[in-house]
Amino acid sequence: MRYASIPFNHNQLGWPAGEHGFPPQRALQGDITADWVIVGAGFAGVAFARRLTEINPGLKIIIVDAHSTRESASARNSGFVIGLPHNIGSSTAELKKANAYRNLLQEGIRHLEKVISQHNLQCNWENVGKYHCQAERGNDRILKTYASHLDLMDEPWQMSDREELYQKLGTRFYSKGIFTPGCVLVNPAQLVAGLNHYLPENVQRFENTPVLGIRYGSMAEVLTPFGVIKTPDVMLATNALSPELRPGLSRQALMATFASITDPLTDEQLATLPPMESWGLTPVNAIAGATFRFTSDRRFLIRQHVIPALKGQVNAAQTYQATQLHQRLFNKVYPTLKKVKITHTWSGIISVTRNGAPEWGRLNKYICTAGGCNGAGVSKQTVAGSLLADFIMKQDNPRIADMLSLGKASFMPPSPALDVGIALSLMKERYLGRKEVNPGASPEG
């Protein structure tokens, strides 16, 4: 048997743990049986488990994760819980798909709000909307197109120029931006830890328990280093991680993106900026540009720099390079805050599909999956996991039709063709978006 590759990030997560820490779960020791095994304790896996227990509280459900919940891939994102698709389009078919996607994202937010309210889960949940900004001067094509698409969906928006953005964001780096309500900002590490902690009692969790492989017979046998779990059903909530576990053709690929967080600003540093509340900003070019956040505890978060990570592994040298890039970019965006230092840089693995569609549903007799987050994981994967439980358990839910309307992830070629294709795609996007990190760049660079 070819054992599955285990994801590894050689860096430490920087999100504050908060006052409400949750006890770690032990690793699996010994052989057991279960009605369902869920591989991956992120947003999709937890939502799938919770919905399964609502449908049938008598099920014995086990969740295993290769790491601790606080160091999982879901904990490593930037904490944007989006309620609108990033890409909309203007054709009838594109608008229909965008409306279905919006329905799903907003359903995911409602799912999360329900659990947070029920358990008083502390995760810095802030429904403050977000800014979608460009740094390049004089070329408004992308933002104008986005605004026209928002109009077609009857979504409210507000355009701001550089000076108006300065009053909200404390920087004149961006030339224009569109604000849309409906995006929630959150501490994702606290959120996913709390969602795991408050699962029903019939869900048993094991951390630091990587799955090495799955054997098939009268039942599936989920192999871990110190125990085997026999089960009739397995749900893979791993996105493209550990691809050896997924049967059939490859439909997802892995990329790593990096985030950094600063020290909290002092009163003196804060006084150099206009009065600001918490805010989040996404760039018009997601590969070349930078995502920024200003948090309620007066820190800045920067997410920028995307690299291939086909084995789900990131080393210390790659993390160091990202730290240097982020510090230089922060100093450029906030030149009056050059004494503010980055305290942590960490990587997060995202799963991308060739055509932007998810990999969702049954893969074989034993295995189903909800994968292909394409960088929009919190609300999207929450609803994808919950709806998958309805779909598998044959529950009537109108949102299943919305999920199916997103299409099916297309085939990914194997390495080395995949490696070359991803590298060329990233090079192209960095070139097209070069003015998003250097607004004064000439056409030659």
- With a CB cutoff of 8 Å and minimum separation 6, the contacts of 407 are 97, 355, 357
Choose among 203, 278, 169, 245: nearest CA to 3. Answer: 245
pLDDT at 173: 97
pLDDT at 442 over 50: no
pLDDT at 374: 86
- Average pLDDT of the residues of the chain: 94
For the chain, report the end-to-end CA distance as a whole number of angstroms.
49
pLDDT in tens, 100-143: 999 999 999 999 999 999 999 999 999 999 999 999 998 889 99
Three-point CA angle 154, 160, 164, nearest 5°:
145
Structure tokens at 133: 């900004």
Choose among 98, 303, 81, 90: nearest CA to 181. Answer: 81
Q: For residues 366 and 234, is the Cβ–Cβ distance under 8 A? A: yes
Alpha-carbon distance of 443 to 445, in angstroms, equals 5
Sheet of strand 32-33: strand arrangement: 32-33, 227-231, 220-224, 213-216
| Residue 205 vs residue 311, higher pLDDT | 205
Alpha-carbon distance of 116 to 109, in angstroms, equals 10
pLDDT at 377 over 90: no
pLDDT at 417 over 80: yes
Q: For residues 369 and 40, is the Cβ–Cβ distance under 8 A? A: no
Alpha-carbon distance of 378 to 376, in angstroms, equals 6
pLDDT bin (cut points 50, 70, 90) of residue 296 is: very high
Q: Which amino acid is at 377?
A: G
pLDDT in tens, 209-225: 999 999 999 999 999 99
Q: Which residues pair with 94 in a beta bridge?
A: none
Up-side HSE of residue 405: CA atoms within 13 Å toward CB? Answer: 17
pLDDT at 199: 98
Alpha-carbon distance of 39 to 223, in angstroms, equals 11
pLDDT bin (cut points 50, 70, 90) of residue 91 is: confident
Alpha-carbon distance of 225 to 342, in angstroms, equals 37
Q: For residues 309 and 254, is the Cβ–Cβ distance under 8 A? A: yes
Q: For residues 261 and 330, is the Cβ–Cβ distance under 8 A? A: no
pLDDT at 298: 97
| Residue 53 vs residue 242, higher pLDDT | 53
Choose among 383, 199, 169, 160: nearest CA to 290. Answer: 169
Structure tokens at 70: 């606080």
pLDDT in tens, 230-276: 999 999 999 988 889 998 889 999 999 999 999 999 999 999 999 99
pLDDT over 90 percentage in the chain: 83
pLDDT at 440: 62
pLDDT at 61 over 60: yes
Tallying the residues shown for the chain, one arrives at: 445
pLDDT at 441 over 60: no
pLDDT at 419: 87
- CATH class, range 130-181+254-352+420-436: alpha beta
Average pLDDT of the residues in 419-440? 89
pLDDT at 215: 96
Q: Any idea where the domains of the chain sit in the sequence?
A: 8-77+189-252+355-412, 130-181+254-352+420-436
Site of tokens 């760049």: 441
pLDDT at 168: 97
pLDDT at 232: 98
Check if 8-77+189-252+355-412 and 130-181+254-352+420-436 are the same fold: no
Structure tokens at 161: 């120029």
Choose among 211, 286, 206: nearest CA to 241. Answer: 211
pLDDT at 444: 33
CATH code: domain 8-77+189-252+355-412 is 3.50.50.60
